[in-house]
Structure 1
Amino acid sequence: MTRAYALAVAPNGARRTHADHPALPMTPDELGACAKACLEVGTAMIHLHVRKADGTHSLEVSDYAAGIAAVRRAVGDELVLQVTTEAVGIYAPAQQIATVQALRPEAISVALREILPDATHAPAAQAFFGWLWRENVTAQYILYDTEDVAHYWRLRASGAIRPGRHWVLFVLGRYSKGQLSSPSDLLPFLSAWQTGADALGEASGATPWAMCAFGPREAECALAAVLYGGHARIGFENNLYLPDGSISPDNAASLRALTSAAAPLALAPMTADALRELTR
């Protein structure tokens, strides 16, 4: 039997430009074309960063509206469209929250350490988490290390984050030398994840998890995650290389490095609707 996994593309990120790779999408039309190409490879979700007119990172509603419209024209509802709230040292938690509440997108990603950097931000963050849950905005909580994992489970235990309508993302190798990830970087996350689930009395698979990685072992890390029952995010945001060390021609080729390795193991990417059902 074939087992399905969710494949997401992170095609651009907040910092890279055409100077880093000519196929990195920056404009709304480029995002739409990239989304369509990645859909054909099997992705279920696009992790969306948009830019200002000068090419710099934006969380402005008008910039997001243009990017969202372009992706929807290209793929309709065949991809889950996940809006990033990444601050990049520019936006404060209140601005991140205001953008999401103005857009009311289908899905968002949010780093716990950005939206809740200290106890003074706890009331606003908890109110935001509750708003996401009530408004059926699927959140993906970004966890950079095992302390972030423990923080997530404390928020779950307190009721600040309710069960359901969300998933999490483990960022492998974010603080490693050269930001080069290895499949072994997944193991501390999985151990901390199981510890937190056990403490709450929840099956470790009840809340879905995914991972992203840096460097040419990205596809290898992603395959390890899928084999452990998780899901994967791949793309030019974190890595421009194929497993053989060559530059990937585009995001679709980077995704294909995983799907081609997973297929002989009876692992197949799921559809957007299956991902919506998984994270509802």
Structure 2
Amino acid sequence: MTGTLITVAPTGAESSKAAVPALPVTIDELVATAKECEALGAAIIHVHIRDDAAEPTLDPGRLRDTVAALRQSTDLIIQLSSGGAVTDPEAARLAVLDAGPEMASCTMGTVNFGDAVFLNRWDFIVDLHTRMAERGIVPEYEIFDLGQLTTLQRLLDRHGLPYGGHVHVDLVMGVPGGMPGTAEALVACHRAIRDLPEGTTFSATGIGRTTLPVMLASLSAGGHLRVGMEDTVTYAKGRPVESNMQLVARAVGFAQLAQRPPLTTTEARELLGVPAR
């Protein structure tokens, strides 16, 4: 396909509602954001949830309610984060799959995450990958550093292809402690991706001020895009993001300039091996 797969990551686990009032944290806010972004051209929503105090949570009941609400209101592919917050235990992260998402993230290694550590042990990665295959959930393999692509190759060699048979990775770039959000780093990853199974696709995410260079480099290399207020809360220097819709609209504009218009949700499902509803 020659189009662009656009994922919106609207909330994340890092920013507070007090500091970023536009952040969608309730189910109603998340559904409204999802509908707006789908209308513009997003095909996937990458979901973190918050509790009644707007703090990050992996509460099983709230996860199930969120998935149900998004499924009822949109045709977006629902991708839950299995990362949660960096403090979440492995058991709670595995239990995310019980909420029945169509996709879930699967991070390929441990990384320094600012002043914290995002822990992803090999055995945990294998368990997450295996459970997704058993439950018919398509993984998005999240890559925070170049060596994690080698870990992904090892995983696939030892434990087989994911459910649906298609390998899709997301390059998360610009995290303090991970790979830089530069065109040079993306090119290095692009070369390594060629060693993965034929047909592997990638999206790229630029954190903070790396959003624009990563977006342009990904489109130039034939990659796809993830944008949203999880990854940046500044639209331009000194200008806060007003909504996730604003970030999706910019990504859509760049994709159209590259003559790679956004994929529909139906086309995205075909590309990723996600079954139609």
Q: TM-score scaled to structure 1, two decimals?
A: 0.85
Partner AA of 1:149 in structure 2: L
In the alignment, the residues of structure 2 paired with residue 38 and residue 87 of structure 1 have an alpha-carbon distance, to the nearest angstrom, of 22
**Offset, 1:161:** 4.6
Quick one: distance in 2 between partners of 1:261 and 1:244?
A: 19
> Which one is further off, 143-152 or 212-221?
212-221
Listed one character per residue, the Cα deviations across residues 62-112 of structure 1 (whole Å, up to 9, x for unaligned) are: 11122223323432xx21011111142332223211231x22221111212
Partner of 2:181: 181
Distance 1:91 1:160, change over 3 A: farther
**Cα shift at 1:151:** 0.7
Q: For the residues of structure 2 that align with 1:125 and 1:255, how far apart are their CA atoms?
A: 30
Aligned pairs, how many? 265
In the aligned structure 2, how far is the partner of 1:132 from the partner of 1:267? 30
Provide the TM-score with structure 2 as the length reference: 0.86
Match of 1:96 among 86, 93, 96: 93
Which position in structure 1 is the counterpart of 2:207? 214
Match of 2:103 among 107, 117, 121: 107
How much has 1:222 moved relative to structure 2? 1.6
Equivalences for residues 59-98 of structure 1 within 5 A: 59-75=58-74, 78-98=75-95
Distance 1:45 1:137, change over 3 A: same
Deviating beyond 4 angstroms after TM superposition, the runs of 4 or more aligned structure 1 residues are 160-163
Secondary structure at the counterpart of residue 142 of structure 2: strand
Asked if structure 1 preserves the Cα contact closer than 8 Å seen for 2:140 and 2:169, the reply is yes
- 1:130-279 aligned at under 5 Å gives the runs 130-162=130-162, 164-175=165-176, 181-194=181-194, 196-197=195-196, 202-203=197-198, 206-243=199-236, 246-279=239-272
Give the superposed CA RMSD. 2.5
Residue type of the partner of 2:106?
V
- Are the aligned partners of 2:206 and 2:213 in contact in 1 as well (CA < 8 Å)? no
Change in Cα spacing, 1:112 to 1:157, as seen in structure 2 (3 Å) is same
Deviation at 1:48, TM superposition (A): 0.6
Partners of 1:126 and 1:261 in 2: CA distance: 36
What secondary structure is seen at the aligned counterpart in 2 of 1:4? coil
Q: Within 5 Å, give how 1:11-30 maps onto structure 2.
A: 11-30=10-29
C-alpha distance after superposition, 1:161-206 (max 9, x if no partner): 54824411111122369x9733333122113223x33xxxx43xx1
Conservation of the 8 A alpha-carbon contact between 1:219 and 1:234: no
Q: 1:6 to 1:175 in 2, by over 3 A?
A: same
Q: The residue matched to 2:239 in structure 1 has which SS?
A: coil
Equivalent in the alignment of 1:3: 2
| Whole-angstrom CA distance in 2 between matches of 1:126 and 1:260 | 38
Q: 1:136 to 1:166 in 2, by over 3 A?
A: farther
Q: Give the equivalent residue in structure 1 for 2:115.
A: none
Q: Which runs of 5+ in 1 are unaligned?
A: none
Give 1:215 shift: 2.0
Cα distance in 1, alignment partners of residues 262 and 249 from structure 2: 11
Residue identity in the other structure for 1:173: G
Deviations 1:217-276 (A, max 9, x none): 413422321221111100100112225662221111111112212313311010112111
CA distance in 1, matches of 2:55, 2:39: 28
User: Whole-Å Cα distance in 2 between the matches of residues 165 and 133 of structure 1?
Assistant: 12
* Structure holding more helix per residue: 1
Question: What is the SS of the residue equivalent to 1:139?
Answer: strand
- How much does 1:4 deviate? 0.5
The residue type equivalent to 1:29 in the other structure is D
Q: 1:275 to 1:104 in 2, by over 3 A?
A: same
Partner SS for 1:108: strand
Distance apart, 1:127 and its partner CA: 4.4
Residue by residue, what CA displacement relative to the aligned partner does 1:137-178 show, whole Å, maximum 9, x if unpaired?
11111111011111111112223554824411111122369x
Q: Percent of aligned positions with the same letter in both sequences?
A: 24
**Contact 1:182/1:217 (CA < 8 Å) preserved in 2?**
yes
Contact residue 10 and residue 24 of structure 2 kept, 8 A: yes
